Structure 1
Amino acid sequence: MHSECVPLLDQCPCSALFDEGKIQQSFLKVFTALLKNYRQYLSVPEVYRHALREKELRNEAMGISSSHRSLLNLGEIAILPEDWFRKEEFLASGIDREARPFMTVLAATQSFAQFTLDRMERPGDDYEVLFFNEMLSAKRNRSLLRFSKTDTPFLNDESFRASQTVACMDPDVADLGLGTEQPNGPPRPPPSSRSRISAAG
C-alpha cells in the first residue's frame, strides 16, 4: 500500500488496489451465471398488454409520442411481480442447486422485482437490456456442449468500445489559500489519483 494513500483510507479506497472496472466485471460474471435462464420465466400479463395498447392509442390520438415509462410506476395498472415473473418455477428449476439459497433471498428483494419488471417493460433494443442478454448468449456460446451459436451483434459493435482515456485536470485552488488539507473535509488525493474518463469512438 502506498504511504500517501493511508490518510485517505477512511474516505476512499486506494486507487492502486481498488479497481472499479474489475469489480464490475466480477459482479457481471456472477450474475450472468446466476441469471442465465431468467428470460424463460418472464411473461407479459394480458392486462398489461391491454393497458399498454390503450395508452398507445390515447397518445396517438393526442399526438404524443409513446414513452417507455413504467405503467406500474405511473399508477395506471396494478399487478404483482408474480404476474410477470414465475419466481417459484425459476427457483425450482432455473438455477443450479448450490445457488438456490442465495437466489431465494435475492429474488425476494425489491431490486430483483424491479430488474424483472424492467426486462418485461423495456423494448428489446434498449441498450442495457441488449448488453445483458447478449452477455448471457456469449456465456452460453462458450459452452463446449453447445454446437449452434447465438449471434451477439451488440457486443461485437466496435462503435461502443472505449477508444481513448482522458485524464481530468485537478481544479485550480490557487486563489483559495488551500494546501493539501481542505477545511471540514478529507485531504485532497495526490495527483496520481486523478479521475479518468473513457470515451467511446
Structure 2
Amino acid sequence: MSDTSLLLRLWLTKPRQIATWTPTGRAVAQAFVDALDAAPRQGHIIELGAGTGPITAAMLEAGIDRRRLCVVEYDHDLVALLRQRFGNGGIVQGDARALGSLFDAQGIDQVAAIVSTLPILHFSRADQRRVLDGCFARALPGALFTQITYLPGSPVRQRALERWGYRADRFRRVARNWPPATLWQYRPDVGL
C-alpha cells in the first residue's frame, strides 16, 4: 500500500488523529531540518506524529545522529511502518499528551528540539498545553517546538500561549507542498 493510500485510509477513519491524507513533501521536510539549525548540539530531538516518516528520513539524510532521535507516533499501523523503514531504535508508540512517562521510559532527560506534525489544531486547549508543557519540562535553553499547519495562523491560539507562558513565531511558509504549509515555532516566553 502506498503512503498516500495508507494515510488516506487512516484519515478517513480517524480524522482528528491523522493530520492530513498526504505525506509531508520534501520541501516541508527540509524546512523542519532547517529549523533544527538553532537547536542545542546536545540533547534529544523529538519528532511528534511521525506518520510515514518523511521528516525522519530528512533528518537522518541531513546527518542528525540517530541516537539523538525519539520518533513518537500514536497509530499502531504507522509505528509498524516506521519500524520497518528505520528499525526499532528510537521509534516509540505513544501519546504526545503524556510525554513525561514516555521520556522516563526512553531515558530522555534533555530535549534539544521538537518537530511536530500532530493535528494539534484538533486537540483541546488542555491537551495542547499538555504537549507543550511535556516537551518544555525537559527542554534545554534555546529549544524550539516547530509545528506544521495548513492554515495561515498558529494552530495554538496566541492568547492561550500567552496565558501558559509561551510565545509563537512563524518560522517559514512552504508553498511548494500540497497543501501549502506553514511552520510555527513555540518557545517559553522569557521576555525575548
Q: Tell whether the structures are fold-level matches, with TM greater than 0.5.
A: no
TM-score by length of 2: 0.24
Structure with higher strand content: 2
TM-score by length of 1: 0.23
* Larger Rg, first or second structure (1 or 2): 1
Structure with higher helix content: 1
